[in-house]
Amino acid sequence: MFMPFDIMRTFMFTMIYKRLFTAIFSLFIVGVLVFFVTESLPGDFCTSYLGQNATGSRLEQCRIDNNLNAPLVERFSLWSENVVSGNLGTSLKRQRPVSDVLVPRLENTLILGGIAALIGIPIAIFLGCIAGLRANKKSDHFISIASLFTMTVPEFVTATLLTLIFSIWLPWFPAVTLIGENASLSELLPNVVLPVVALSMAMIAHILRMVRSCMITVMNSSYIKMARLKGIPYWYIVFHHALPNALLPAINIIALTIAWLLGGVVIIEQVFNYPGIGSLMISAIYDRDLPVVQGVAIVLAIIYILVNLCADLLTCILNPKLRTQQGY
């Protein structure tokens, strides 16, 4: 049954307010942890930048110039005020605003993750449905074993094997990306094939197993059995009744997997030398460029929280049981 429009609107606003409050609180906690954890790293930018010359007056002057000798609480207060106002600070090494350094890299990472999601999610849903509909048969066993193997192999191993096979044995794709961070989409596309495959494999495995489990549960439910007894065509039951109900519990897993892509790209981008946000974070950590590290961490946290927020709202809207539990 459909809810009246005013009740539906009240439900939406209430859910959004609750989730936004949780998201803002989570972001605050993440911000505090990011700042103090990065500040606790051994060494600082000046010791990394000056190297063997990091002694005496030069080291002290470098710290004064970059405000590294200010008290920790004072630096956190200034940093948090800037973040709230949308200012992520200035890169110590590049002497440019962090946002100018971060945006091109973020765009490249979103291209990589977006292509992986657009390819991986439909494949995962398809294979999960096949495995669930043919539970305990040869096709199910094959898909399940392949997914378990894919889940247990680390991303860098998968990336290395793909490079060995498709860049060395079969020189079809470049092993590493040799273009800059401001490359156009047409220049990036040949270089994203192997990183996309490496990211998609683990993502497909996680979503596949969730969809398979949900499909088995739904197909064994009483209303599906009743529909089959009434003579309703099998594939109509699958696509109009079983699949929508099987996908509801999988929405959060899909959201978590999409958010996981942002963490997985750190390793994948480093292996393939891809000019994305992951390789930027690695180089910033090496250089002790803390404003860049903190900016990348905050942006990734915001994306992670937004993806989960959208998944929670979508699940509550599509699932009448959750609306009933909320009192609507």
**Model confidence over 235-294: pLDDT tens digits?**
888 888 788 888 877 777 787 777 777 766 777 888 888 888 888 888 888 878 888 888
- Structure-block tokens of residue 137: 């048969």
* Residue 140 and residue 134 in contact, taking contact as beta carbons nearer than 8 Å: yes
Cα distances from 156 to residues 163, 199, 265, in angstroms, run: 10, 10, 10
Q: What is the pLDDT of residue 222?
A: 85
pLDDT averaged over every residue in the chain: 79
CA-nearest of 117, 116, 128 to 208 is 128
Whole-number Å distance between alpha carbons of 26 and 32: 10
Q: What domains appear along the chain, each with residue ranges and CATH number?
A: 97-318 (1.10.3720.10)
- Structure-block tokens of residue 318: 């599509």
Whole-number Å distance between alpha carbons of 260 and 253: 10
Does pLDDT of 2 surpass 50?
Answer: no
- Structure-block tokens of residue 248: 């509801």
CA-nearest of 88, 100, 93 to 34 is 88
Does pLDDT of 124 surpass 80?
Answer: yes
Cα-based torsion angle of the residue sequence 65, 71, 76, 81 in order, rounded to the nearest 10 degrees: -70
- Structure-block tokens of residue 205: 């495995």
Cα distances from 239 to residues 83, 132, 207, 231, in angstroms, run: 46, 13, 18, 15
Q: What is the pLDDT of residue 35?
A: 82
**CB neighbour list of residue 298: distance below 8 Å, 6 or more residues apart:** 27, 30, 31, 34, 83, 88
Q: What is the pLDDT of residue 3?
A: 47
Cα-based torsion angle of the residue sequence 204, 206, 211, 212 in order, rounded to the nearest 10 degrees: 100
Higher-scoring residue by pLDDT: 218, 316: 218
